Amino acid sequence: MGSRLEGGRRIFVALVLLVVAGCYWSKYDKLTRTHVELLLSMAAKLAAVTREEGAPPASFAEYRYPLERARDFTRIVAGRFEGRPSLAAFRTFCDAYEDVLKAAEFWRGADPGANADLERAQEKLRADAVTVLHALDAEAER
C-alpha cells in the first residue's frame, strides 16, 4: 500500500513540474520583455544617480542583481529556445547592460571622455533593446 502512495505522489509531482515548466515556457516572450524593461529602467536610474552625484554609486549591487537574474533566465530558457534570434539578441542586450555598468563605474563628472563612454553605452543598450523586441515580435508572427 505504501509503495502505491509513493508512486502516486511521484506521478503527481512529475505532472506538477510539467505544468509549471509549460507555463514558464509559454511566458518566454513576456518574461524577456520584462527583463528588457527592467534593465533599461535600471540603466537610466544608474546614469541619473551617477550624474546627480558626480560619481558612481558606492555600491553597484542594486544594478548588478537584475543582470544576474537576466543571465539566469537565458541559461534556463536556452535548452528550449536556443537558436531563436530573440535569445541571441537578448544575450547581446545583457552584455550591453554590463557595458553600461562598467562605463558608470569609471565615470567622473569632470572627464568628458567618461561622459561620452556612458552615453555611448546607454545608446547601444537602447538600440539592442529594440533589436530584442523586434525579434520577439517577428517570432510571435510565425
Give 83-109 pLDDT, tens digit per residue: 999 999 999 999 999 999 999 988 766
Assigned domain for 7 exists? no
Give CA separation, 96 vs 92, 105, 124, 132, in Å. 6, 14, 7, 12
Assigned domain for 92 exists? yes
Give 119-130 pLDDT, tens digit per residue: 999 999 999 999
The total of structural domains in the chain comes to 1
Assigned domain for 37 exists? yes
User: Which domain covers residue 88, as residue numbers?
Assistant: 26-141
Q: For the ranges 26-35, 76-85, 100-109, which has the lowest average pLDDT?
A: 100-109
Assigned domain for 56 exists? yes
Q: Grid coordinates standing for 28? A: 518566454
Assigned domain for 14 exists? no
**Where do we find the cell 513540474?**
17
CATH number of the domain residue 67 falls in: 1.20.120
User: What's the predicted TM-score (pTM) here?
Assistant: 0.81
